[in-house]
């Protein structure tokens, strides 16, 4: 109750701004218009008619999909930065938490890239702008896990998450994957705990979203580890301990060997049951996860006085960018039969 009373005092303005941004999210008709486009130029015309407005008007033709994606992301980052700059505690901390996941992605991207001896500058350009931090470029130098930690990560907010990874020695494909998942697990748990301290509707809304995120990761890790050399005890260590599957579900998944077992474990939960029903439509598990994520994020906007909307908006907007880029790719590669597999946000 108290949070509702005083919410607008600190966060009312920025919440209003955000809900304004939210109303600019593309709706079904606009997607329908997009999918009818014959060329990228048509798409540019259509995007011009949406809230993106003049975003693309200064791009020379022909328009490339990569430019499109860059511009769209830029817009999202601008919006986020504006919100971040205006926010005060604890919202600003909450927003920082949102950036951590992009940091994790960037760190992993850079070390994987370095492992494959890719050009550093290309890698830096491909990093998500929301997850950039000052000493990030120096990641390219690191060759061992300890070095990675001591040189760069120790001064980033990711440092505490990294503490669990220090046991690994070399940076190889498998270890990087383990690092990624360990980091993510620690991040999710930390974020979840933080949201719970905020209490009120934030805790409720973010709780649902993060629990689903955790379950999704658990399921993904399980399925992806089939047939790899990852020991089962290690697999269990990677599972976030905040999901709805925790603890029995996690325990069962840790020893699962095939897809059917995963399905049986998850079907306990009514919401998760349809994900594993492969007979209907050609949608993959990943798509269904995305759909459910979008659904949860959209739900966040049904609640007043919660920070979940900020998280949800970024996620929805990301999905929207993915959708537009997908449509653009389908158009430019003449794959119009698959153009409708985007995931509608509204």
Partner 1 sequence: MAPTTLFRSEEMSLIQLYIPAEVAQPCVAELGELGKVQFRDLNPEVNAFQRAFVSEIRRLDEMERLCRFFNTQIEKAEIPIRPLTAAAYGSRARSAQEIDDLEEKLKEHEGRIIQMNGSYETLQRRYLQLTELRHVLRETGGFFEQAESRQDTIRNSMDEGDASTPLLEHDVEQQNHDEMGRLNLGYVTGVISRARMQTFERVLWRSLRGNLYMNSAEIDEPITDPDSDEVIDKNVFAIFAHGREIINKIKKISQSLGATLYTVDDSADKRRDAYLEVTGRIEDLNNVLSNTSQTRRAELQKIAENLTSWTTVVRKEKAIYHTMNLFNYDVNRKCLIAEGWCASNDISIIQHALKNATEASGTNLPSILTELTTKKKPPTFHRTNKFTEGFQAVIDAYGIARYREVNPGLFTIISFPYLFAIMFGDVGHGFLMFLFALYLVLNEKKLAKVDNDIFSMFFSGRYMVLLMGLFSMYVGFIYNDMFSLSLDFWKTGFDWPTEYNSTDTIEATPNGNVYPFGFDPSWHGSENFLLFSNSYKMKQAIIIGVIHMLFGICLQVYNHVNFKNKMFIWLEFLPQILFMSSIFGYLTFCIMYKWSVDWWALDENGNHIHNAPPNLLNMLIYMFLSPGNVNPEEQLYPGQGPIQTILLLIAVVCVPWMWFAKPYYLKAQHNKHHYQSVAGDDDVAYDEEQNGHAGGSNEATEDDEEEEEFEFSEVMIHQTIHTIEFCLNCISNTASYLRLWALSLAHAQLSSVLWDMTFKIWFGFSGVIGVIGLFIGFAMWFSLTIFILLGMEGLSAFLHTLRLHWVEFDGKFYMADGVKFEPFAFKTVLEAKSE
Residues that bind partner 1 (CB under 8 A): 33, 36-38, 41-42, 45-46, 49, 57-58, 60-61, 120, 124, 134-135, 137-142, 147, 150-152, 154-155
Task: Specify the residue, 156 or 303, whose C-beta has the smaller distance to partner 1.
Answer: 156
Task: Specify the residue, 151 or 220, whose C-beta has the smaller distance to partner 1.
Answer: 151
Q: What's the min distance (Å) between Cβ of 171 and partner 1?
A: 15
For 310, the 3-state DSSP assignment is helix
Q: What's the min distance (Å) between Cβ of 46 and partner 1?
A: 7
Q: What's the min distance (Å) between Cβ of 74 and partner 1?
A: 14
Concatenate the DSSP letters of all residues of 56-114 into one string: GTTSPSSPPHHHHHHHHHHHHHHHHHHHHHH--TTHHHHHHHHHHHHHHHHHHHHHHHH
Contact 245, 191 (CB under 8 A): no
Contact 165, 183 (CB under 8 A): yes
Q: What's the min distance (Å) between Cβ of 107 and partner 1?
A: 14
Q: What's the min distance (Å) between Cβ of 26 and partner 1?
A: 15
CA distance 258 to 263: 9
What's the sign of the alpha-carbon dihedral 75, 296, 263, 176? positive
First-to-last alpha carbon distance for the chain, in angstroms, is 29
Task: Specify the residue, 81 or 135, whose C-beta has the smaller distance to partner 1.
Answer: 135
Task: Specify the residue, 38 or 277, whose C-beta has the smaller distance to partner 1.
Answer: 38
Q: What's the min distance (Å) between Cβ of 120 and partner 1?
A: 5
Q: What's the min distance (Å) between Cβ of 203 and partner 1?
A: 36
Q: What's the min distance (Å) between Cβ of 43 and partner 1?
A: 9
Report the b/e string of 97-129 with b at 16+ CB within 10 A: bbbbbbbbbbbbbbbbbbeeeeeeeebbeebbb
CA 240 to chain centre: 16
Task: Specify the residue, 110 or 221, whose C-beta has the smaller distance to partner 1.
Answer: 110
| CB-facing half-sphere around the CA of 77: CA atoms within 13 A | 14
Q: What's the min distance (Å) between Cβ of 141 and partner 1?
A: 5
Between the alpha carbon of residue 209 and those of residues 24, 246, 295, the distances in Å are 22, 15, 10
Task: Specify the residue, 95 or 152, whose C-beta has the smaller distance to partner 1.
Answer: 152
Task: Specify the residue, 155 or 173, whose C-beta has the smaller distance to partner 1.
Answer: 155
Task: Specify the residue, 35 or 261, whose C-beta has the smaller distance to partner 1.
Answer: 35
Task: Specify the residue, 72 or 110, whose C-beta has the smaller distance to partner 1.
Answer: 110
Report the b/e string of 270-297 with b at 16+ CB within 10 A: eebeebbeeeeeeeebeebbbbbbbebb
Residue where the block lists tokens 């270890």: 175
CA distance 227 to 215: 21
């Amino acid at each position: 109750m108290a949070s509702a009373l005083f919410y607008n005092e600190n966060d009312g303005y920025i919440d209003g701004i955000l809900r304004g941004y939210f109303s600019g999210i593309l709706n079904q008709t606009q997607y329908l218009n997009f999918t009818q486009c014959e060329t990228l130029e048509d798409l540019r015309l259509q995007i011009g008619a949406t809230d993106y407005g003049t975003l693309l008007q200064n791009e020379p033709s022909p328009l490339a999909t990569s430019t499109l994606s860059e511009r769209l992301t830029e817009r999202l980052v601008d919006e986020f930065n504006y919100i971040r700059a205006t926010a005060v505690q604890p919202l600003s901390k909450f927003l920082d938490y949102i950036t951590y996941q992009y940091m994790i992605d960037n760190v992993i991207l850079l070390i994987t890239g370095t492992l494959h001896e890719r050009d550093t500058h290309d890698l830096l350009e491909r990093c998500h702008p929301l997850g950039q931090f000052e000493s990030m470029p120096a990641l390219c130098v690191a060759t061992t896990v300890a070095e990675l930690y001591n040189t760069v990560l120790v001064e980033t907010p990711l440092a505490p998450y990294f503490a669990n990874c220090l046991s690994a020695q070399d940076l190889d494909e498998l270890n990087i994957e383990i690092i990624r998942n360990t980091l993510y697990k620690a991040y999710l748990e930390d974020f979840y705990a933080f949201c719970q301290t905020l209490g009120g509707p934030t805790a409720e809304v973010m709780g649902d979203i993060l629990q689903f995120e955790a379950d999704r990761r658990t399921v993904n890790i399980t399925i992806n580890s089939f047939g790899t050399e990852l020991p089962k005890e290690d697999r269990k260590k990677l599972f976030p301990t905040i999901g709805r599957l925790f603890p029995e579900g996690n325990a069962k998944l840790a020893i699962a060997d095939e897809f059917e077992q995963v399905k049986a474990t998850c079907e306990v939960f009514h919401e998760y049951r349809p994900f594993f029903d492969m007979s209907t439509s050609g949608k993959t598990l990943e798509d269904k996860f995305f759909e459910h994520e979008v659904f949860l994020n959209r739900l966040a906007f049904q609640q007043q006085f919660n920070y979940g909307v900020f998280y949800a908006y970024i996620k929805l907007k990301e999905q929207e960018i993915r959708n537009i880029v997908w449509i653009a790719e389908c158009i430019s590669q003449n794959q119009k039969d698959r153009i409708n597999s985007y995931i509608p946000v509204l």
